[in-house]
Structure 1
Amino acid sequence: MSSSVTGSSMANNQIRGHKAAINNPKVSEDAKERSRQAMEELSQTDEAKYISEGLQEQKDPVRQNAGYKATLSNPQVSEEAKQHAREVLEESDAL
């Protein structure tokens, strides 16, 4: 693993991997149980609990707005999604 991977992103990746294994119908019950136990151990730390609950750092608003603007020009996106993107951009005064 690269030395540029931080502890929090490594814990985040581990949690995501265990969640995927638990929800994968092709994974044996024994493996799912091992993933549940591993997630329980990972959740003992405050940082891992914070990540597993989905309370990650706030994303960069500039990049978020860029994604919403891309949504508006993508012909494969539904009109409902485009309307949501417009509303978000109007709220952030980025449109």
Structure 2
Amino acid sequence: MSYSRENPEVSASGEDRVNAMRGYKATLSNPNTSKEAKEHAQDVLNNELGGNKPRQDLYDVRGRNKEPNRVAGGLKAAQTNPRVKEQGKKSSAEKLDQMPQE
């Protein structure tokens, strides 16, 4: 995959797009980056990478690929973990109740 000023190419892969977005955001926050480079990075983020949409796409894809038994196990573990706050324990119990039963 290449990202150049002459021919910007953005992969359709959600993960690749999120990684590209991270790189451009790093460019924006780097004090050693030129004004022109920051303008280019902002332009690519706004017009080619879809703002925060790639990140949401990635979360959606990862959520669909999770194994229900592992998710349920994590939620049960959170309820007994002494480092989890009461709000988190309550939230995990609610999510566990909403999961489809097999």
TM-score class normalised by the smaller sequence: 0.5 to 0.7
Indicate how the Cα distance of structure 1 residues 21 and 82 shifts in structure 2: closer, same or farther if over 3 A, else same.
farther
Indicate how the Cα distance of structure 1 residues 32 and 67 shifts in structure 2: closer, same or farther if over 3 A, else same.
farther
Cα distance in 2 for residues equivalent to 1:88 and 1:34: 42
For residues 1-95 of structure 1, the aligned pairs below 5 Å read: 8=13, 9-19=15-25, 21-22=27-28, 24=29, 27-28=30-31, 30=35, 32-43=38-49, 50-52=53-55, 54-55=56-57, 56-57=60-61, 59=63, 60-62=66-68, 63-93=70-100
Computed over aligned residues only, the root mean square deviation of the Cα atoms, in angstroms, reads 3.4
How many equivalent pairs are there? 83
* Structure showing greater Rg: 2
Kindly provide the CA deviation profile for residues 63-83 of structure 1, in whole angstroms up to 9, marking residues without a partner as x. 433332232232111011110
Question: What is the deviation of 1:18?
Answer: 2.9
Aligned partners of 2:72 and 2:96 also within 8 Å: yes
4+ runs deviating over 6 angstroms: none
Aligned partners of 2:17 and 2:49 also within 8 Å: no
Gapped runs of 5+ residues in structure 1?
Answer: 1-5
Cα distance in 1 for residues equivalent to 2:24 and 2:88: 30
Query: Normalised by the size of structure 1, how large is the TM-score?
Result: 0.58
Gapped runs of 5+ residues in structure 2?
Answer: 1-10
Query: Normalised by the size of structure 2, how large is the TM-score?
Result: 0.55
